[in-house]
Amino acid sequence: MLVGCSSPAKDPLACAREVDADVVQLHLSAPRVWRDPKQRIDADELRDAALVVSAHAPYLCNPASADPAVREKTTRSLQVTLDEAARCGARGVVVHAGHAAGGGTMEDAVARWIEVARPLHSDVALLIENTAAGQTAPGRHLADIARLFGALRAVDLDVPLGACFDTCHAWAGDPLCATNPAGYVAAFAEATGGIDLLHVNDSKDEAGAGRDRHTNLGTGRMGLDVLEAMVTTAERLGAPAAIVETPSEDGGHRADIAMLRSWTADAGEAALR
């Protein structure tokens, strides 16, 4: 399995070298404002690097929002991020599954998702990530995740669809996760059709707390045994890459990546582009 970390957008190649990452995830535009990505000057370098790159859409994106203006901005933001991701040779663009902000049922949330995804066109995969919080959030509980993916897969989309599983979000979002973490990962893969990217983060909060606060592996409430069970299950089910989105200070990423490597099989040259 390829392992790596989220990287500051500034110099992902240097970041990867520094922490010994096979894969990096970066934002292609400021994560908390609606702004189109600028064309990266290191796009060729990123594309040619023996490194897998994944991109993360801005956090404002909410395909399940009741507000048509937010959905329209989300479609635009996803499209321009997919376009720039393609220039940079990224394998996927991660987007949170969102929530029905402004009202509506789960059925409405799923219908809004379809409306947002339908105009998108790209060869880069859109990776929908499970979420820790929010009411009427289609990425929070397994039955809703299955419903969202089922509905999206039934539509003839012009973008490959994939799933990103975040260990912290599952732990904090759904109390079911803590009772059988490995089984939960397997059930998620079943609901989505597979795991394309793993986000491995410990949680500062108790199981089912509904909060999204990441921390370094082994320093939160999940415990290393739970995290290891989730990672090895995802690897066994074919997840190709795992990244940490944890604090990088004081060697945090380096230590977390070393921990991931101790749990996973060496990816080898074949998995690299």
Among 166, 174, 202, 256, binds Zn ion (CB under 5 A): 166
Of residues 166 and 202, the one with the C-beta less far from Zn ion:
166
Q: How many residues bind Zn ion (CB under 5 A)?
A: 2
Q: Alpha carbon 113 to chain centroid distance?
A: 17
Of residues 156 and 253, the one with the C-beta less far from Zn ion:
253
199 near Zn ion, rule: CB under 5 A: yes
Q: Which of residues 26-85 bind Zn ion (CB under 5 A)?
A: none
Query: Least Å distance between CB 96 and Zn ion?
Result: 8
Identity of the residue numbered 10: K
Query: Least Å distance between CB 94 and Zn ion?
Result: 7
256 near Zn ion, rule: CB under 5 A: no
Q: Alpha carbon 46 to chain centroid distance?
A: 20
Contact string 113-152 vs Zn ion (x = CB under 5 A) = ----------------------------------------
Stretch of residues binding Zn ion (CB under 5 A), selected from 102-110, 155-163, 192-200, 215-223:
192-200
Query: Least Å distance between CB 245 and Zn ion?
Result: 5
214 near Zn ion, rule: CB under 5 A: no
HSE (side-chain half, CA atoms, 13 Å) at 148:
36
Torsion 205-209-211-217 (CA) sign: positive
- Give 49-52's long-range contacts (Cβ < 8 A, gap of 24+): 49/13, 49/16, 49/89, 50/272, 50/273, 51/4, 51/13, 51/16, 51/21, 51/22, 51/23, 51/24, 51/272, 52/2, 52/4, 52/22, 52/23, 52/24, 52/91, 52/241, 52/272, 52/273
Of residues 178 and 243, the one with the C-beta less far from Zn ion:
243
Query: Least Å distance between CB 224 and Zn ion?
Result: 19
Of residues 116 and 243, the one with the C-beta less far from Zn ion:
243
Of residues 82 and 128, the one with the C-beta less far from Zn ion:
128
Stretch of residues binding Zn ion (CB under 5 A), selected from 34-42, 73-81, 160-168, 246-254:
160-168
- Element (H or E) spanning 106, and its range? helix 106-117
Q: Which residue is nearest to Zn ion (CB)?
A: 199
- Give 265-269's long-range contacts (Cβ < 8 A, gap of 24+): 265/1, 265/235, 267/1, 267/2, 267/3, 267/22
Quick one: which of 92, 106, 96, 232 has its CA closest to 162?
Answer: 92
Of residues 166 and 196, the one with the C-beta less far from Zn ion:
166
Q: How many whole angstroms separate alpha carbon 129 and alpha carbon 163?
A: 6
Of residues 144 and 166, the one with the C-beta less far from Zn ion:
166
Using CB under 5 A, list all residues that contact Zn ion.
Answer: 166, 199
